[in-house]
Structure 1
Amino acid sequence: MEITKDTAPRTRRTEWSLSLLGGLKHEGSFTARERTVHVAAVGGAKLDHTDAELPAGPTHLVKAALVGGAELSYPEGASAEIDAFSVLGGVDLTVPAGTAVEVSGFSLLGGRSKDIDGEPGGAVVTVRSYSLVGGVTIRRA
């Protein structure tokens, strides 16, 4: 039996973004990672996945900031999990028809969109948002 080492370059599965002041922005054609983590004192995350090359499974965004929200767009058939933690800032989400959206979390001051039913067996976007000021807004594309 022969054992060989896999020397093929591996795709980085997690993208980290850390900053005191500044946000994270991806739009247009890019390769989305399985997991994106954005931590900032002041700065949001804007991820437009409509033209992105997506991984086989769901994408996962973790965003933590004192001030700054998350603005996200997904194409048809994309599943995702979103965890957002902020003092000031909410989640603004755009999904195509047929995508189910499950919302949970807490906001002291800010509205929260209700869950949206999708097609059986279709894409699901799960949002867990925790903030003092800022809610969750969901739009259909």
Structure 2
Amino acid sequence: MDNLPDRPNPHAHLRASDSDRDKVVEVLRDALMTGRLTQDEHGERLEQTLQARTLGELEPITQDLALPGQAFRPAAAAQPSTGVVPIEEPANPEDSFDTVVGIFGGGERKGRWRVKRRTNALCVFGGYDLDMRDAIFEGREVTVYAFAVFGGVDITVPEGVEVRTQGVGIFGGFAGRGSKEPDPTAPVVVLKGLALFGGVSAQTAKPKKH
């Protein structure tokens, strides 16, 4: 009985949701914190997670990190965030969504605001500043979809936060720079989108002195 081959997952063909990918990200972060993955291995598997489209593509990523059939229950997610950057999981992750707009004008978010799991930032002939230094993150990984057309989106993240840039600049700039040594307990900010005759940038800043 023990030598029987594993049964194929009947749900492998189903599309993976953001929540499914978040669970895998938490498992990988827990494995990094406990030394089961190196920094390079963690980065490689995180990239695979972000690119996964089905449950079948997600499953092998953590196959050697959890017992077969065991639900995702990483130690870091089972406890309140104790890191320098506060993380508070929302009651309903599907509702963790926000949109900011700067058209022929400007706007900003700063202070003690909540960074949703997904934020759309649209700037046309205008600009928007997202200052996350004192913010509360609603996920261990948050995504900002930034679209700047003859405008700009500037993001400031706390020290220790990793920034992953996956956007494109056309006659403009699209760049992100997180901490050189990311804190494994801190969130990851994924920056996607397009800068057309404009600019999108993310940079790390030390916490404000009060």
The interval holding the TM-score normalised by the smaller chain is 0.5 to 0.7
Runs of 4+ in 1 over 4 A off after TM superposition: none
Is residue 51 of structure 1 aligned with residue 112 of structure 2? yes
Q: Please tell me the residue identity of whatever aligns with 1:140.
A: T
- Paired with 1:40 and 1:75, the residues of 2 have a C-alpha distance of 21
In the TM superposition, what are the counterparts of 1:107-126 in structure 2 within 5 Å? 107-117=169-179, 118-126=182-190
Is residue 127 of structure 1 aligned with residue 191 of structure 2? yes
- 66 and 111 in structure 1: CA distance in 2 versus 1, 3 angstrom threshold: closer
8 A contact 1:70–1:84 mirrored in 2:
no
- Alignment-derived partner of residue 153 in structure 2: 91
- CA-based RMSD of the aligned residues comes to 2.8
In the TM superposition, what are the counterparts of 1:65-104 in structure 2 within 5 Å? 65-75=123-133, 78=137, 79-104=141-166
Q: Which has the higher strand share?
A: 1
In the comparison of the two structures, how many residue pairs are matched?
Answer: 105
- 123 and 88 in structure 1: CA distance in 2 versus 1, 3 angstrom threshold: same
Question: Displacement of 1:129 after TM fit?
Answer: 2.7
- Paired with 1:122 and 1:107, the residues of 2 have a C-alpha distance of 27
Q: Deviations over 1:13-63 (max 9, x none)?
A: xxxxxxxxxxxxxxxxxxxx8322235653444111x322x37xx442212
* Unaligned 5+ runs, structure 2: 1-94, 206-210
- Paired with 1:47 and 1:89, the residues of 2 have a C-alpha distance of 17
Question: Displacement of 1:114 after TM fit?
Answer: 4.2
Secondary structure of 1:51's counterpart equals: coil
In the TM superposition, what are the counterparts of 1:22-41 in structure 2 within 5 Å? 34-39=96-101, 41=103
TM-score of the two chains, using structure 2 as the length reference: 0.42
* Unaligned 5+ runs, structure 1: 1-32
Q: Rg bigger for which structure?
A: 2
Question: Displacement of 1:131 after TM fit?
Answer: 2.1
Q: Please tell me the residue identity of whatever aligns with 1:139.
A: Q
Q: Which has the higher helix share?
A: 2
- 80 and 69 in structure 1: CA distance in 2 versus 1, 3 angstrom threshold: farther
Q: Which has the higher contact order (CA 8 A, sep 6+)?
A: 1
8 A contact 1:91–1:129 mirrored in 2:
no
Q: Deviations over 1:49-89 (max 9, x none)?
A: x322x37xx44221234322331111367353211223212
Secondary structure of 1:112's counterpart equals: strand
Q: Please tell me the residue identity of whatever aligns with 1:51.
A: R
Question: Displacement of 1:92 after TM fit?
Answer: 0.9
Q: Deviations over 1:96-132 (max 9, x none)?
A: 1100111121111233334535222421111113121
Secondary structure of 1:72's counterpart equals: strand
Q: Please tell me the residue identity of whatever aligns with 1:60.
A: R
Q: Give % identity.
A: 28
